[in-house]
């Protein structure tokens, strides 16, 4: 039976632990990944130090065997993902788990970060 996108996101959110923007702002040594599309990042900025990888390229950048692998990605490293509101980042978290990443967390939406008055990198 087919599932809706909302059902897929709900299932992903139940698999990937949530983390708040405040918690992320205090974490050291983690990889923060912005999975929004480029125009979204250009319009609003991103979490300082975050690596921008559009959701459609995530598996290719995260897979160490891919010719498109980004050296920032290491399955042994804690990874925090976020998007605009939390849906794409939840799906991204599941994809990372399926690639063997063992400590993946979903910060949810960038809007939550910005609304808390936390620093933004333009």
Whole-Å CA distances, 100 to 6, 36, 63, 71, 85: 24, 22, 9, 16, 25
Evaluate whether residue 26 is within a structural domain. yes
CA atoms within 13 A on the CB side of 83: 17
Evaluate whether residue 120 is within a structural domain. no
Tell me the pLDDT tens digit for each residue of 25-69. Answer: 999 999 999 999 999 999 999 999 999 999 999 999 999 999 999
Beta pairing class for 79-83 and 31-34: parallel
Question: Does residue 99 surpass a pLDDT of 90?
Answer: yes
Per-residue pLDDT band at 100 (split at 50, 70, 90): very high
Evaluate whether residue 33 is within a structural domain. yes
Beta strands in 1-114 (DSSP E): 31-34, 51-52, 79-83, 104-109
Q: What's the CATH number where 38 sits?
A: 3.40.250.10
Evaluate whether residue 45 is within a structural domain. yes
Structural domain span for residue 25: 5-115
Evaluate whether residue 122 is within a structural domain. no
Evaluate whether residue 121 is within a structural domain. no
pTM of the model: 0.96
Whole-Å CA distances, 7 to 1, 87, 98: 12, 11, 18
Evaluate whether residue 66 is within a structural domain. yes
pLDDT of residue 1: 85
User: Strand, helix or coil at 119?
Assistant: coil
DSSP 100: T
Looking at the 3D structure of the chain, how many domains does it have?
A: 1
pLDDT of residue 60: 98
């Amino acid at each position: 039976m087919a599932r809706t996108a909302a059902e897929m996101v709900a299932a992903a959110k139940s698999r990937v632990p949530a983390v708040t923007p405040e918690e992320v702002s205090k974490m050291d040594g983690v990889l923060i990944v912005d999975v929004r599309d480029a125009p979204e990042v250009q319009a609003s900025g991103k979490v300082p130090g975050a690596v921008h990888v559009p959701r459609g390229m995530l598996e290719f950048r995260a897979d160490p065997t891919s010719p498109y692998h980004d050296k920032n990605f290491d399955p042994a490293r804690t990874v925090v993902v976020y998007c605009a509101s939390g849906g794409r980042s939840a799906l991204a978290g599941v994809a990372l788990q399926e690639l063997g990443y063992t400590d993946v967390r979903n910060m949810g939406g960038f809007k939550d970060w910005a609304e808390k008055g936390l620093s933004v990198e333009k």
